[in-house]
């Protein structure tokens, strides 16, 4: 009975966490002159999970510990626009975040695609529905990646190139969520954790192909996060956190500084 209560509680938390990053907020970036470095994207670019959130655009949960801010602190671009926003999909980036791009923009970075792919639904179904329904949800997410997401990324990437013709555009991917055969004793079964990691790999493949097709650089972060996923001894990703539910499944401050920043630095 106690195990059933634990499972039910865990499932409820997973459901709440999945819902927490499903809805995008408005980017809230002022329409001003083009910036030399423009950081676009979703919660992984905004720094959700890293803490130290900036007072402007509070709905977007932009962190001073996010990799775009850390990169700008080291390289001191002449101007920096931090437009990334919690929950943003490709269509949100397209409509809400591109105002600071222009002919003088030299660097653009972004992560986007996780929310588009329905990972919120995947995490909920896998927590509540068992192995068969989890596999079906993963399969549906992969179909979304190959269809609507790929089309939306093509539109977004084309617009970015048109608005910032001279920019080096770096598209960063997503880390695996789970360290397999790790230390977790509750939560999703190992087979479902493996299926979710495989879905992340497929998402990265879809993103990478569209990025390369548009002449952009794709930066893979799975290597730097290896050994630091959820269920590892030193995770750089939050598991379910009832006290900060929006931060669940997002990189910690070390995930931003040690997982994402070195990868961006290598390609810039």
φ, ψ (nearest 5 deg) of residue 237: -130, 140
| Residue pointed to by tokens 């720094």 | 47
In contact, 132 and 193? CB cutoff 8 Å:
no
CA 218 – CA 139 distance, rounded (Å): 24
**Tokens found for residue 93:** 């980036």
CA distances (Å), 197 to each of 31, 133, 163, 226, in order? 38, 16, 34, 12
Distance of CA 226 to the CA centre of its chain: 16
Q: 108: helix, coil or strand? A: strand
| Residue pointed to by tokens 């290597």 | 223
User: Does the annotation mark 265 as catalytic?
Assistant: no
**Tokens found for residue 131:** 């192995």
- 12, 43, 45, 176: the catalytic one is 43
User: Does the annotation mark 56 as catalytic?
Assistant: no
- 45, 214, 250, 265: the catalytic one is 250
CA 93 – CA 90 distance, rounded (Å): 5
CA 195 – CA 151 distance, rounded (Å): 24
In contact, 245 and 234? CB cutoff 8 Å:
no
Residues catalogued as catalytic:
43, 250
């Amino acid at each position: 009975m106690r195990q059933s209560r634990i499972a039910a509680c865990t499932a409820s938390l997973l459901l709440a966490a999945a819902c927490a990053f499903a809805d995008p907020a408005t980017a809230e970036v002022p329409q001003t002159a083009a910036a030399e470095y423009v950081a676009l994207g979703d919660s992984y670019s905004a720094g959700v999970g890293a803490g130290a959130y900036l007072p402007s655009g509070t709905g977007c949960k932009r962190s001073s510990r996010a990799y775009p801010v850390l990169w700008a602190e080291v390289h001191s671009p002449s101007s920096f626009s931090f437009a990334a926003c919690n929950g943003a999909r490709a269509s949100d980036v397209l409509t809400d975040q591109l105002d600071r791009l222009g002919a003088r923009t030299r660097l653009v970075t972004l992560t986007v695609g996780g929310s588009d792919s329905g990972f919120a639904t995947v995490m909920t179904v896998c927590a509540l529905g068992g192995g068969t329904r989890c596999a079906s949800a993963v399969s549906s997410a992969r179909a979304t990646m190959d269809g609507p997401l790929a089309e939306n990324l093509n539109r977004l990437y084309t617009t970015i190139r048109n608005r910032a013709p001279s920019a080096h555009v770096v598209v960063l991917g997503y880390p695996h969520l789970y360290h397999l055969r790790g230390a977790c004793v509750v939560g999703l079964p190992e087979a479902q954790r493996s299926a979710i990691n495989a879905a992340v790999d497929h998402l990265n493949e879809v993103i990478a192909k569209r990025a390369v097709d548009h002449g952009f650089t794709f930066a893979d972060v799975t290597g730097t996060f290896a050994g630091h996923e959820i269920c590892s001894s030193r995770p750089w990703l939050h598991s379910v956190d009832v006290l900060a539910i929006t931060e669940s499944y997002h990189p910690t401050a070390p995930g931003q500084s040690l997982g994402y920043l070195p990868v961006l630095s290598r390609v810039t």
